[in-house]
Homo-oligomer: A and B are copies of this chain.
Amino acid sequence: MTGKLYGVGLGPGDPDLLTLKAARLIGAARVVAYPALAGGDSFARAIAADLIGPNTREIVMDVPMSVARAPAQAAYDRGADEIAAVLDAGEDVVCLCEGDPFFYGSFMYVFARLADRYEVEVVPGVTSISACAARAGQPLVARNERLTVLPGPLPEPELRDRIAGAEAVAIMKVGRHMAKLRGVFDALGLLDRAVYVARVGLPDEVVCPLADAPETAPYFSMILMNKGEDPWL
């Protein structure tokens, strides 16, 4: 009997936003796996830290910072091999993933390598979009509104076209794309409808109008906008 692989969403960062299922699985895990960025700390591990037992084995996938894909692919290849060895030995593995595993989540890369050979269960988590909207006090979408989710690194013309054609927008991974993004919202006359949220739920969280946002944003930051064409009342 091979073990089972769990891909567990941890939510946006506040440990209180883990699901009951995620907390139980992590607390009972004998083996956990998670990515760490460029030899630094693992955000996923930090979120789950209080739940990981002292005798739990930890498989760390050290993912280098690089726009090239090959180094990250090699890191996930090695991590998947290590996880597979544990599963082959009949032990379950709980793979930790910030946010939701299938919404821009790192678990996808493990899933792509192992799902055809092992039993996998994905436990969904609260996304950063939901958390940012909650903290900003700004609903995302209601009734028959459409929501467009766009990564900040997209080219400026595409961002402009897609934001112009959308009713509600969430921009992920703002980071070093802040100047470009603010320019796009400004050019479209939507600056006053956009809100900026960084490091949601963490002690250094920032929530403010996009017009007042700092010049440089951390990777975990977002812009939310709803044109308000259809009032919610």
Contacts and interface: CB of A to CB of B under 8 A. Distances in A.
Interface stretch (A86-94, A124-132, A203-211): A124-132
Interface stretch (A34-42, A110-118, A185-193): A110-118
Given A130-B125, A130-B127, A146-B150, A19 B18 contact: yes
Contacts of A151: 143-146
Interface residues of A, number: 60
A233 interface: yes
A134 B131 CA distance: 19
A125 B140 CA distance: 13
Contacts of A138: 102
Interface in A198-233: 231-233
A43 interface: no
A103 B122 contact: no
A194 interface: no
Contact of A112 (B113, B133, B232): B232
Interface of A: 9, 11-12, 14-21, 23-24, 73, 100-105, 108-109, 111-113, 115, 120, 122-127, 129-131, 133-135, 137-151, 153-154, 162, 231-233
